Amino acid sequence: MSPWIDGQGRKIDYLRLSVTDRCDFRCVYCMAENMRFLPRQQVLTLEEIERVARLFVAGGVRKLRLTGGEPLVRPGIVGHCERLAALPGLRELCMTSNGSQLGRYARDLRAAGLARLNISLDTLDAQRFQAITRTGRLDQVLRGIDAAQAAGFAGIKLNCVVMKGRNADEVPALVDYAIAHELDISFIEEMPLGQVGRDREESFCSSDEVRALIAERHELLDSAEHSGGPARYVRLAQHPRTRIGFISPHSHNFCATCNRLRLTAEGRLLLCLGHENSLDLRGLLRRHPLHDGPILDALHAALQRKPARHEFSAGGEVQVLRFMNLSGG
Ligand code: SAM
Ligand code: SF4
């Protein structure tokens, strides 16, 4: 099968799959307070997602990441992981989770072949946690992180969206938590996805500001390593087991090396997180249940339309109406 190369000559070897738009949290940067979720028939079945994954892996995708919404609220997720992890040629099956259900699922996920976990953690203060997630409980997530470590997951990475006035002052404490638990941690600039009912510009905190906060307490060593994603990493001179990542869609554009595509929960293949142009794969999959040819042709044609770059402005204005829970970050 011909490899996945886009119109700019970029090789696509990473596919993110949003397995549900639903979530048990309502994080202020991701969702509005009252969300309407997709009706079930508009969401891809697990079999449909597996079919797409199989086609992509056969053409050279080496890394799959399950996300959402919260992937662990989708019924059947453990079996889904098992089938995806077994795809011939796949190097790594990963998941991004809010951690709330990991106490229950971590061991089964590990046994199913899930290789890596990113877990979101924006604060270590129980009240703030509740304010940011609206419905989440910090103790449950911290237990989830412990369960993931106990299950043997190596290379767990924490994800933290930094917002002034909400959690920016906790950056040093979060770094200390990562060091104490020998975890990596990435700090993310908030992206303007979906109307979430607050002014993002007011709380925007750049990666350079976050880095300066950390540098007040730690000697930072620049690092050329990357994890196949958009994060730039630094190491801590005194704590070699923890890497600090910065995901900076505003201040450090990472489009030139973009190697990824996203499949939304409703089956749209997003060519770029910052653009609306996409391919309706759900329609194609359902029109051609037995023949992959038309789907492969449409995928190769769509790749020629993958934008050269996103156009998020530093002002934090909403340019893409889609919510993050649809596209999975
Ligand atoms: N529910 C899972 C979680 O929270 O980890 C997976 C889905 S969530 C959409 C994936 C990642 O996107 C999370 O790390 C979350 O913090 C991040 N995220 C959500 N909305 C964002 C936004 N507007 N800007 C930047 N990151 C965002
Ligand atoms: Fe749910 Fe993740 Fe969005 Fe938070 S960031 S509302 S946990 S999907």
Tens digit of pLDDT for each residue in 176-216? 999 999 999 999 999 877 777 777 778 899 999 999 999 99
Going from the Cα of 289 to the center of ligand 1, the distance in angstroms, rounded, reads: 32
Residue 225: which pLDDT band, with cuts at 50, 70 and 90? confident
Q: Are 62 and 13 in contact (CB under 8 A)?
A: yes
Sequence spans of domains, the chain: 15-316
Ligand 2 within 6 A of 99 CB?
A: no
- Please give the CATH architecture assigned to the domain spanning 15-316: Alpha-Beta Barrel (3.20)
Decide: 112 and 85 in contact? Cβ < 8 Å: yes
Query: What confidence tens digit (pLDDT) does each residue in 235-264 have?
Result: 999 999 999 999 887 766 667 778 889 999
Contact 153, 116 (CB under 8 A): yes
Residues at the binding site for S-adenosyl-L-methionine are 29, 69, 120, 191
pLDDT-derived band of residue 325, with 50, 70 and 90 as boundaries?
A: low
Query: From the CB of residue 287, how many other CB atoms can be counted at a distance below 10 Å?
Result: 10
Report percent pLDDT > 70 for the chain. 90
pLDDT at 318: 46
Pocket test for ligand 1, best of 159, 186, 195 (most atoms within 8 A of CB): 159
pTM of the full structure: 0.93
DSSP assignment of 65-129, as one string? EEESS-GGGSTTHHHHHHHHHTSTT--EEEEEE-STTHHHHHHHHHHHT--EEEEE---S-HHHH
State in Å: Cα 69 to ligand 2 middle.
Answer: 6
For residue range 277-321, list pLDDT tens digits in order.
Answer: 789 999 999 999 999 999 999 999 999 988 777 665 544 444 455
Tell which atom from ligand 1 comes closest to the C-alpha of 68.
7
In the 8-state DSSP scheme, what is residue 212?
H
Question: CB atoms < 10 A from the CB of 57, how many?
Answer: 21
Whether 248 lines ligand 1, by a CB cut-off of 6 Å, is no
| Cα of 325 from ligand 1 centre, angstroms | 7
What is the length of the chain?
329
